Amino acid sequence: MRAPAESGVVRTAAWDPHDPRAAAQAAAGRRRQAWRIYGLFGTLLLAAIVGAPLVGSTPLDLRAVLDRTRPFADNLDAQIFFIARLPRVLAAGLVGATLAVAGVVMQALLRNPLATPFTLGVSSGSALGAMLALTFLPTWTGGALTSVPLASLAGALGAVAIVYALAQVRHRGFSTDVLLLAGVTLNAFFSALILLVQYLSDFTETMRTMRWLMGDLDVAGYRPLVIAMGLLLPAAVAFAWLPRSLNALALGAEQAGSRGVPVLGVQRLAFFAASLATGVAVSLAGPIGFVGIIVPHLVRLLVGADHRIVMPASALFGAAFLMACDALARLVLSPVELPVGVVTAVVGAPFFLWLLIRKT
């Protein structure tokens, strides 16, 4: 066993927190580092935004896409680009960023590196809602909203309410342990109900519900995106406010409290914001796994644990990552598509493991 001083963390020992000049230098260094990371991930995202709509099962002529002289109704390239691909790529970006940030917040809130946006039962509640709608609800359209996304959002919010109530009962505060256990149990319970619903449904419905569970970004229009963005707004505001408090929370609730952080309020806000964000993302695109755990860890491996950097960086990288995965899903077996959830896991897991081994 080597002594801690020899294990490569010598630099921190040399830093004196009471030296204002050194502190200022370190802060400036961190800022530069942060901007480099934003630059890197921003470039990746830009590449994804530009590149992803250009690939697909149909070869597109970009000049035809942008040709304003032809009426849109007769311009197949433009229709494919603007009706099918662009909304889809934007959905991937929105869902990727949302799940990645929700993952960061859940991991900080539960102080558990294995936490994901789906840990507290939000996604399985959402899935149960969708399954019930797909299996039992007759066709129902309420203007802009259709039964399945609506039921899935309702399921997500229902799950959030149950978990929250459980974490509150018998605890005057907000027990993250109870939260975690309740979430995991609720996940199992909802999964059992989902299986039951599938078992009771017809063959064709079973296929549809299975497909829903694999995640799908083909939203075919901008309306679902606009609705989702509207619903995500409160969560986004909360996410913007949270990073500093989450940093304090990472030291433990007591430490954070002694530094003047309103621990209970922060925990509640983090819980509701991450849950709402997850619920909206899942109702838009189904439970796309792996983004919410792999992206935060990957980003942390690159930029450290400061939530002020991790959260925006995760949003950028999450968006780029899911856009890229969706592009792959569209291309590999074209014209047949792979479920994007399968791609995120198959691509993400080995990459993550490689990074993990390389870093340690």
Which position among 25, 58, 255, 258 is part of the footprint of another protein (CB under 8 A)? 58
Indicate left, alpha or beta for 121 from its phi (over 0: left) and psi (-120 to 50: alpha): left
Q: Does 48 bind another protein (CB under 8 A)?
A: no
Supply 70's token pair: 């032809």
- Give the binding-site size for another protein (rule: CB under 8 A): 40
Contacts for 190 with CB less than 8 Å, ≥ 6 apart: 121, 124, 125, 127, 128, 159
Q: Does 71 bind another protein (CB under 8 A)?
A: no
Kindly tell me which of 153 and 163 has the beta carbon lying closer to another protein.
153
Which position among 175, 181, 218, 355 is part of the footprint of another protein (CB under 8 A)? 218
Q: Does 68 bind another protein (CB under 8 A)?
A: no
Only one of the segments 16-24, 52-60, 254-262, 351-359 lies at the binding site for another protein (rule: CB under 8 A); that segment is 52-60
Which position among 1, 5, 9, 73 is part of the footprint of another protein (CB under 8 A)? 73
Which position among 202, 260, 357, 358 is part of the footprint of another protein (CB under 8 A)? 202
Q: Does 144 bind another protein (CB under 8 A)?
A: no
- Three-state DSSP at 142 gives strand
Which position among 318, 337, 340, 348 is part of the footprint of another protein (CB under 8 A)? 337
Smallest distance from another protein to CB 324, Å:
17
Specify whether the CB–CB gap between 343 and 328 falls below 8 A: yes
Q: Where are the alpha helices (DSSP H) in the chain?
A: 10-14, 20-51, 62-65, 76-79, 86-110, 122-136, 147-168, 176-200, 203-213, 223-241, 243-249, 253-258, 263-285, 291-303, 307-331, 340-359
User: Site residues for another protein, window 76-115 (CB under 8 A)?
Assistant: 76, 79-80, 83-85, 88
Specify whether the CB–CB gap between 316 and 42 falls below 8 A: yes
User: Site residues for another protein, window 173-192 (CB under 8 A)?
Assistant: none
